[in-house]
Structure 1
Amino acid sequence: MPSLTPRRLAAQLGDWRPTNGDPLYAALADRVRLLILDGRITLGARLPAERQLAQHEDLSRTTVAGAYARLRELGFLQSVRGSGSVARLPDGPGIPEPTATTAGLLEFSKATLTAIPLVADAARDAAAMLPQHLGLAGFDLYGLTELREEIADRYTRRGLPTTVDEVMVTLGAQHAIALVARALVARGDRVLVESPSYPHALEAFQQVGARLVTVPVTTENGWDDEALEQVFPRTAPALAYLMPDFHNPTTRTMPAAQRARVVALAERHGTTIVADETMSDLGFDSDAPPPLGVHGTVITIGSVGKSVWGGIRLGWIRAERSTITRLALARTSNDLGNPTLEQLMLLRLLQQYDRVLDSRREQLRAGHALLTGLLRERFPTWRVPEVAGGLTLWVNIGAPLASQLALAARTHGVLIGAGPRFGLDGAFERYLRLPFCYPEPDTRAAIDGLERAWHDIAAHEPSRPVDELLDTVV
């Protein structure tokens, strides 16, 4: 059972103290509840003892005891004899299913597109192709040869010559990230990550005992060149995890010259670069940049989970032949290969991929126009960035209220992604990640609920000096 130290929990809590006169115990309970709902506190994790947390946060023990009591009452904490207070989720209707409005909550925290009719066509084609593969064992760590050839050919057409033995099919991009982490990162190794970044990738590296070092990425300026120049020689990371195309969540794309510099820096300091290119095909126009690997040795991760449908649980890794072999050897402890029928589906989809992307670009341009228009109309003080693709907006709400807003939005039926979910140690309280890839009725309903939640917070927030408001958007 994992245990949270007071220091670690405090880092996750961030700036949780209320400014609206709410009781301290209630504010503390609300913040812990959000951390559990977000997955930042894992289920079954043991929270610090009341006395320890009170001392660390300079609170009375009565305040912490009140917060823990409230969490137990709501079903988010369970007291276990000999184990202390353990994080859990409520039973029954306390947590509605987060994927359907009929369950009471509109899911607006995931960056995902609904499936297109072509998926069903690909499934029928795959079923027709399946009989010719029934003579195979079905346990293949590398993937079907014809699918790997299609993936390799696509990299070659994009300017990165690739052979079939440089490709491994995986059970999605997240599986690929976790496999790379297990195979290539030893406990105590430093791993360079962007800040903010994709939260499940951060979790994969933390689970293997990596020490994360960060480089800033902003919507205004992208990757901090000076920080990159300093972090490689100072920390000598074993691995660097980057999202150079429509970065999640800022949606920035790394310029070509900076790509070459980053790869050269990594090679100079013995760092393996892992480029997550799951968003690379989602530009509003068809001029996608070449893969990061054209500049040097890079492990590339891809999938169609963002561009086609998340229900197709397949992705791939493109790397040197020796690395692919190493990953295959490491894979057997967790899985024994990829499902054949789904691989045949993916093969048919990739054979028609350009057609899929043309349809998606039109859909994303319309969704982006709708969401940016609604945000600028309803929330004129928020900073809505200009983007050229991707699935989301990284919106600066101008005050460190993202977690509070996320909780308030739940009461109005909307799940949103608060900024700290994408950072380390409670950072990015001034940001929300909002998707523009949802159907128009869902987007409008989500913004309605978000507007009501924002008004609820504004009604209780004290006015602040102009200087402080200016500081919040730096």
Structure 2
Amino acid sequence: MDSRLSARALVELLGFWRTSEPAYDALADGIRLLCLDNRIAPETALPAERELAVALGISRTTVAAAYRALRSTGHILSRQGSGSVTRPLGRTTAARWFDREGIDLQQASPPAWPGLPGVIAEVAASATALVSRSGYDILGHAGLRAAIAERCTRQGIPTIPEQIMVTNGAQHALNLIASTLLRRADRVLIETPTYPHAAETFRRSGSRLVGVPVEVGHGWDVDRAAQAFARTAPALAYLMPEFQNPTGRTMTASERTAFARAAHDSGSMLLVDDTISDLVIDAGERPAPLPAAIRVGSLAKSVWGGLRVGWIRADADVIRRLRAARASHDLGTPDLEQAVATRVMVRLDEILPQRSALLRAGRDALVAALGAAVPGWSVPQVHGGVALWVGLGAPLSSALVMDAARHGLHLSAGPRFAVDGGHERHLRIPFTAEPRELERAVDILAASWATVSADISHLEPGTPALSEALV
């Protein structure tokens, strides 16, 4: 059965959607962006034309024209008697709206470590030994698990191989944890803004999300977190304490203590996402690791996104539960990738300084370019991670992303990272690309900002879109 989106909910998702384009084009683009960002899931029934027109304060003819434009690009399908329903988007569908050529900063993923091809060649040379095994390994290779456990121990988290399960990346780990350890209607405490695919995973498991704010300038709202733990007793709390995605913040020692205490008092499991924790740009003293029942990590950011190897670190009894449940999902991580990962793990002390230098060059170029081109924006100071969570000063993130995409720059709008809506005043800009590409991206952003910020003045006072924009 299709899920149904009310007119009120769609208006909240759209935020400031009016631009200097014809209204029906601007509305269609706003809905397309929500589909591409997965803020509107496939097979979702959109509001009836008349209902949406009333909610937006525009004519039904305008909504009808917007729906026709969406049908023409394959974003929605209209069924007689059932209204209009969003469709799953493939590359062809997306390309009919925006040419995907250009600068793609939707994925905050650095290029592959330059030494990786050599490691893959070494592993390929030993292919005879690899294929002598069965190829099915639910827990992961013993050597890789030992290497991961040894690295965890060096980072202040004493670990033995029996506490490690190798997965097909961190996202696979989150899906396995959610489907195994959570029950429908369980509450999950989660930062907002946050990594959107984690929020989607917990929602898909039937969990109810409880958002706790984290801000660039102020960090985690520990008072609200303590209240949320006490009031809702979440089954799980998902946190990214190191270079939090997207804000780039790192938890202070006192914030870690507050979360650990609140989770303990409420009987909640802490799930820490360590996928970005190794991406240190500026050396400095780091607080002790946040104690957690479960941790997930991967090599996607530190080595290459195409090396789909991650892991779960948990007590042995939790690993046993996950092992028992995993066979219904998949039968293990591919042997070839595990062999590559085993060789890479023992070279991380060599790899990470190179990644640090690459990310430092990108960050510094991006910060300098933003300061020169859009001095009114609030650009945070981050010491690691992969992106900046930039304050725009006005709720125009979605409109800015739409306009920039028409000029070949692809980003995710602030609301993509929200748990309960909002964040239209922020934009995540990854600094994982080459400095020159980032400088070109800022040129496009500055031009688009001039366009969308000027568009506010083109609206008549009192219109719903304008009222929303000026809040």
Query: Under a length normalisation based on structure 2, what TM-score does the superposition of the two structures give?
Result: 0.91
Cα deviation code 1:88-111 (max 9, x no counterpart): 37888663399xx99533201211
Instruction: Measure how far apart 1:22 and its partner are.
Output: 5.8
Q: Distance in 2 between matches of 1:22 and 1:342?
A: 48
Q: Distance in 1 between matches of 2:391 and 2:186?
A: 33
SS of 2:380's equivalent? coil
SS of 2:183's equivalent? coil
Q: Distance in 1 between matches of 2:194 and 2:119?
A: 33
Residues 443 and 53 (structure 1), Cα distance of their counterparts in 2 relative to 1, 3 Å cut: same
Residues 132 and 226 (structure 1), Cα distance of their counterparts in 2 relative to 1, 3 Å cut: same
How much identity, in percent, do the aligned residues show?
Answer: 44
Match of 1:159 in 2: 156
Match of 2:144 in 1: 147
Match of 1:413 among 402, 408, 412: 408
| Counterpart check, 1:284 vs 2:281 | yes
Match of 2:464 in 1: none
Match of 2:27 in 1: 28
Match of 2:254 in 1: 257
Residues 72 and 313 (structure 1), Cα distance of their counterparts in 2 relative to 1, 3 Å cut: same
How does 1:370-381 map onto structure 2 within 5 Å?
Answer: 370-381=365-376
| Counterpart check, 1:335 vs 2:330 | yes
Q: Distance in 2 between matches of 1:350 and 1:327?
A: 23
How does 1:363-442 map onto structure 2 within 5 Å?
Answer: 363-442=358-437
Q: Distance in 2 between matches of 1:78 and 1:37?
A: 16
My pick for the range that moved more, 445-454 or 199-208, is 445-454
How does 1:6-405 map onto structure 2 within 5 Å?
Answer: 6=6, 9-10=9-10, 13-16=13-16, 18=18, 24-54=23-53, 60-88=59-87, 95-96=94-95, 104-286=101-283, 289=286, 292-293=289-290, 295=291, 297-405=292-400
Gaps of 5+ in 1: 466-470
Instruction: Measure how far apart 1:47 and its partner are.
Output: 1.8
Gaps of 5+ in 2: 462-467
Q: Distance in 2 between matches of 1:130 and 1:270?
A: 47
Q: Distance in 2 between matches of 1:181 and 1:422?
A: 19
SS of 2:15's equivalent? coil
Task: Report if aligned partners of 2:229, 2:266 keep a CA contact under 8 Å in 1.
Answer: yes
- Aligned residues between the structures: 464
Residues 157 and 91 (structure 1), Cα distance of their counterparts in 2 relative to 1, 3 Å cut: closer
Cα deviation code 1:57-96 (max 9, x no counterpart): 5655444323322322343222134543122378886633
Task: Report if aligned partners of 2:271, 2:294 keep a CA contact under 8 Å in 1.
Answer: yes
Instruction: Measure how far apart 1:2 and its partner are.
Output: 3.3
SS of 2:412's equivalent? strand
Task: Report if aligned partners of 2:239, 2:270 keep a CA contact under 8 Å in 1.
Answer: yes
SS of 1:95's equivalent? helix
Residues 312 and 92 (structure 1), Cα distance of their counterparts in 2 relative to 1, 3 Å cut: closer
Q: Distance in 2 between matches of 1:398 and 1:463?
A: 19
Residues 209 and 94 (structure 1), Cα distance of their counterparts in 2 relative to 1, 3 Å cut: closer
Instruction: Measure how far apart 1:279 and its partner are.
Output: 0.6
Task: Report if aligned partners of 1:216, 1:223 keep a CA contact under 8 Å in 2.
Answer: yes
SS of 2:95's equivalent? coil
Instruction: Measure how far apart 1:157 and its partner are.
Output: 1.0
Matching residue's letter, 1:15: G
Q: Distance in 2 between matches of 1:4 and 1:105?
A: 34
Q: Distance in 1 between matches of 2:39 and 2:392?
A: 22
Q: Distance in 1 between matches of 2:457 and 2:91?
A: 37
SS of 2:411's equivalent? strand
Q: Distance in 2 between matches of 1:341 and 1:227?
A: 46
- Root mean square deviation, CA, Å: 2.7
Residues 93 and 157 (structure 1), Cα distance of their counterparts in 2 relative to 1, 3 Å cut: closer
Task: Report if aligned partners of 1:130, 1:344 keep a CA contact under 8 Å in 2.
Answer: no
Instruction: Measure how far apart 1:288 and its partner are.
Output: 7.0
